[in-house]
Structure 1
Amino acid sequence: MDRRKFIGSSLVAGLATTGLTSCVSNSSIKTDQKSDILSLSERQKWLAPFACNIEQWFRPMPFLDRINAAKALGFSAVEIWNPNQAKKGKTPESIAKRAKEQGITITTYSPSAPNFADPKNEQAFMQWLDGAIAAGKTLNIPNFNLTGHKLIEGLSEAQMLENYTRVLKKVAPRLEAVNMVATIEPYNPFNHPGHFIYGNEPALSICREVNSPSVKINWDFFHMQRTNGNLITNLENGFDQVAYIQFADSPSRNQPGTGEVAYGKVFTRLRELGYTGYIGAEFFPENKDSLRAASDLARLAKSINLQPSF
């Protein structure tokens, strides 16, 4: 990457502090464009409730360096996808080591579950679960994201749901024994065609049938908005099954303020309902401008006095 393209004086200082020398934006910001960028100290204060999804931010920076970049922007937490990709510089051990060095909390991971609604994949899923649990222990994360709900040729939706639910009932006691939570992530049919779990249903029904503190929902407001809309009412109706929150504005999957969602009201209600965890910023910074995205997010949090609750 072009090492000359740093953005914003405060970000440059942060990168220098962490020893990172890769750019975190697609272009430099002119002086007259910096006036509405919050300072590093303000960003650190108001980004505290959020976890930066470093899979979507800072592309194509080397993966581990994205942890440094998130800290330099003012984040104190990050979230990741599959940690077991050594060819991409990702192992649970290397990620945990870099996060510890930077004083960064990792809030969730998504270790790419097999399509376990297919009975042919059940044994592979059980083996995968061993690795997912081991990765979580190394990363010191008590929850991981669970998908594995692609359509299966030859099976009806009812059969797929029955298989999916049956396997979760089978593994729930094992997850409970190790104090870990698997969070089902419903997608949306526009960005992720070819799946059978979209929006708030059938995920809520699955979790309520499994009836375990270790099988809950990763409630991603982006997918919920694209599938169901009516974000606050649906959140209220499903809040008893929420274990983790992610978000992006809709429909372009950039930071709040770039689309149609009134995130100030959504986050305010989220706190009123009692959600105390991190809120995952799983979006693509608009125009690949990470500094602008971080400042926009911090400004939103400041406008509603959104405080960390952990």
Structure 2
Amino acid sequence: MNRMDFLKKSALAVGASTVLPHGNAWATTTPNSNATFNLDYAPHQGMFAASAGKNFLDEIQYMHELGFRSIEDNGMPSRSEREQTQIGELLAKLGMRMGVFVVPKGGNGQNTLAAGKQEHLDIFLKGCRESVEVAKRVNAKWVTVVPGDYERRLPIGVQTANVIESLKRGAEIFEPHGISMVLEPLSDTPDLFLRYTDQTYEICKAVDSPSCKILYDVYHQQKNEGNLIKLMELCWSEIAYVQVGDNPGRNEPTTGEINFLNIFKWLHLKEYKGVVGMEHGMSQSGKEGEERLVQSYRAVDSFR
């Protein structure tokens, strides 16, 4: 299942319900309280559709009323230019930030940067140039890049060099615009070339550009390697963006095994000012699920 299908499905699905603990950590959520969070959490479309409706602009407004100050939208390039402009204007009016969207057609199972093929590079660079224009409309500063699958007929060192050279070309496109590609190691399949934090760190160091950094997704790295805070610390200089989802289940914090209270406290102590993308589903549907979602973030954000 690709990322967009997952998000659309999981935002509507009814999963296993987890009872929230009682106490001061679970303050009552008032939709119009406008209370911000310690960190900058970014929901995506569909998370509040039961309360705000299916119009994304209305939903963004509602997210702002709940205290969120950023959004994510992986599929932003597929929206019309008019809608992109409207979203950008609304975000500016509300003082909200645009989080990541995914560079179109760049790096997948059929178009891997590890192969060193010119046609794959051309597709990737075309997606980079298209992304610059999208970013201008929504004032985005980060775009997600996944290099694609292994090319198993080539030695791993050659594949790594191919990825590095491709990303250098992409960075040349983004640097003049102050946009960073954020490389995301994933856990979806062992066929993926990029899977580990230290591997991504090595590549970013080799590219040596402010436009090539790490997107650290806590859900994927809990599955791939664990030792979350230690590995973030080791690779911190190259981490520019964080996404979250609890494991197992890939739903909101407090539904799985990850101690997000400690992770978010650590990010705060690191003085992380970037976006924390809420790239996960919801354990419950409807307005009750939306209320639970906000309560879970209020709880794990209550570290001070």
2:277 pairs with 1:280: yes
Give 5+ residue unaligned stretches, structure 2: 1-10, 15-19, 108-112
Distance 1:112 1:158 in 2: 26
Question: Out of 106, 111, 136, which is 2:103 matched to?
Answer: 111
Distance 1:75 1:180, change over 3 A: same
Mark the CA change 1:208 to 1:131 in structure 2 (over 3 Å): closer, same or farther.
same
The 5-angstrom pairing of residues 1-310 of structure 1 reads 38-40=28-30, 44-47=34-37, 49-55=39-45, 57-58=47-48, 61-86=54-79, 91-100=83-92, 102-115=94-107, 116-118=113-115, 119=117, 120-152=119-151, 154-188=153-187, 191-288=188-285, 289-302=289-302, 304-305=303-304
**CA 157–59 in structure 1, closer or farther in 2 if over 3 Å, else same:** farther
Structure 1 residue 165 displacement after superposition:
0.8
Q: Write the deviation string for residues 212-267 of structure 1: whole angstroms up to 9, x where unpaired.
A: 12210011111111111011111110101110111111121111111111111111
Offset, 1:70: 2.2
Q: Is the 8 A contact 1:73 1:291 kept in 2?
A: no
CA distance in 2, matches of 1:66, 1:41: 12
Q: Is the 8 A contact 1:113 1:146 kept in 2?
A: no
Determine the C-alpha separation between the residues in 2 that align with 1:66 and 1:151: 38
The answer (yes or no) to whether the contact 1:222–1:249 under 8 Å persists in 2 is yes
Q: CA deviation at 1:44?
A: 3.5
Aligned length: 272
- Does structure 2 retain, via aligned residues, the 8 Å contact 1:204–1:241? yes
Q: 1:269 to 1:42 in 2, by over 3 A?
A: farther
- Name the CA shift for 1:226/1:44 in 2 (closer, same or farther; >3 Å): farther
Q: CA deviation at 1:276?
A: 1.8
Q: Which of the pair has the greater relative contact order for Cα pairs under 8 Å at 6+ separation?
A: 2
Change in Cα spacing, 1:155 to 1:69, as seen in structure 2 (3 Å) is farther
Distance in 2 of aligned mates of 1:56 and 1:48: 23
Q: How many Å separate the matches in 2 of 1:153 and 1:62?
A: 44
Q: Deviations over 1:282-310 (max 9, x none)?
A: 221211312211121012212x02xxxxx
The alignment yields a C-alpha RMSD, in angstroms, of 3.0
Please give the secondary structure, in 2, of the residue aligned with 1:144: strand
Is the 2:114–2:193 Cα contact (8 Å) retained in structure 1?
no
Please report how far the alpha carbon of residue 180 of structure 1 lies from its aligned counterpart in structure 2 after TM superposition.
1.5
State the secondary structure of the residue aligned to 2:264: helix
Residue 301 of structure 2 aligns to a residue whose secondary structure is: helix
| Cα separation, 1, equivalents of 2:68 and 2:264 | 18
Q: TM-score, with normalisation over the residues of structure 2? A: 0.78
SS at match of 1:249: coil
Measured at CA, do residues 114 and 59 of structure 1 come closer, stay the same or move farther in structure 2, by a change above 3 Å?
farther
TM-score, normalization: structure 1?
Answer: 0.77
Assess if the C-alpha contact under 8 Å between 1:110 and 1:145 holds in 2: yes
Q: Which runs of 5+ in 1 are unaligned?
A: 1-23, 28-32, 306-310
- Indicate how the Cα distance of structure 1 residues 276 and 100 shifts in structure 2: closer, same or farther if over 3 A, else same: closer
Report SS of the residue matched to 2:35. helix
What is the CA distance between 1:275 and its match in structure 2?
1.7
Q: Given residue 259 of structure 2, which amino acid in structure 1 is its aligned partner?
A: A
Say if 1:55 and 1:185 are closer, same or farther in 2 by CA, change over 3 A.
farther
Q: Percent identity?
A: 22
CA deviation after TM superposition for structure 1 residue 78, in Å = 0.9
Say if 1:287 and 1:265 are closer, same or farther in 2 by CA, change over 3 A. same
Give the whole-Å Cα distance in 2 for the aligned partners of 1:121 and 1:41: 46
